[in-house]
Amino acid sequence: MQNFQQLSLPVALDDQATFDNFYAPNGTPQHMATFLLKDDGRRFAYLSGGSGTGLSHLLQASCQTNALGHNSGAIYLPLKELCDYPPEQVFEGLEVAPIVCIDDLQLVAHLEEWQVPLFNLFNRCRDSGCRLIISAHSSPDQLGLKLMDLLSRLKSGVSLHLPAYKDEDQRRLLQYRANSRGLYLSDEVAHFLLNRLPRSSHAMMQALETLDKASLQEQRRLTLPFVKVVLHL
């Protein structure tokens, strides 16, 4: 059987997407999610939430945490990048991995040609002991599935919904991630970035990386005028 590595699908992990970089205040669903995903004994988990709630970050963090351990070969599948591939090719042989994380299931779940291959992968992972984590913007019942056996599988494990961050949490999140890079981000600059940047973890981390490099090169603090020039905002 051809394994995933032989397919050369265009998938890469964001090095900044780690549990240490994830803003999850105590008592929030985001904090519960980190606790859940760090528990290797849970073989299947389903996370739901809208854009900007941290789903992609958490799935990649799960893969990277596993890759740092004794077992390598963790697999992250962002379906927004893979939905044009044949589903049989995308899912073939993945059960040999220690963990498979499938992101944005809502993009393909309603397509019948994806449902049987995913159901078969689910069964193979269960038989092999591969850990499976799936995220989507909605609950399994709202995915428009025609294959009821697949719906049953998706509802068989722990399920957790992540709500959107409140505006104040968004600011703290941005400052938290800036601080992890050794950057000081004032409330004024943080509010400005939140109003101008897409509310996604990837966009925020890209902006902070750009600002980090510019600040170091120019030996400048992250003032509002400097940030506007660097990010062309």
Give the pTM.
Answer: 0.82
CA distances, 200 to each of 48, 73, 164, 197 (Å): 15, 27, 11, 8
Express each pLDDT in 140-176 by its tens digit.
999 999 999 999 999 999 999 999 888 888 898 889 8
**Separation of alpha carbons 10 and 14, rounded Å:** 13
Provide the 8-state DSSP code for 140: G
Helix (H, G, I), strand (E, B) or coil at 10: coil
Of the candidate ranges 48-57, 59-68, 203-212, the one whose mean pLDDT is the lowest: 59-68
Express each pLDDT in 114-132 by its tens digit.
999 999 999 999 999 999 9
Task: Locate the domains of the chain by residue range.
Answer: 4-162, 167-231
**Separation of alpha carbons 139 and 14, rounded Å:** 26
Looking at residue 8, its pLDDT comes to: 53
Give residue 41's pLDDT band: very low, low, confident or very high (50, 70, 90): confident
Closest CA to 55 of 80, 91, 30, 77: 30
The reply to whether domains 4-162 and 167-231 share a CATH topology is: no
Which residues lie across from 93 on neighbouring strands? Answer: none
Closest CA to 22 of 167, 138, 151, 169: 169
Which CATH architecture fits 167-231?
Answer: Orthogonal Bundle (1.10)
Closest CA to 75 of 130, 155, 21: 130
| 83 close to 20: Cβ distance less than 8 angstroms | no
Give residue 6's pLDDT band: very low, low, confident or very high (50, 70, 90): very low
| 213 close to 219: Cβ distance less than 8 angstroms | no
Looking at residue 180, its pLDDT comes to: 84
Looking at residue 11, its pLDDT comes to: 72
| 88 close to 4: Cβ distance less than 8 angstroms | no
Express each pLDDT in 186-197 by its tens digit.
999 999 999 998
- Residues whose CB is less than 8 angstroms from the CB of residue 214 and which lie 6 or more positions away in sequence, other chains included: 220, 226, 230
Look at domain 4-162 and name its CATH class.
Answer: alpha beta
Looking at residue 2, its pLDDT comes to: 38
Using the CB atoms, write b or e for 169-188: b if 16+ within 10 Å.
bbbbbbbbbbeeeebebeee
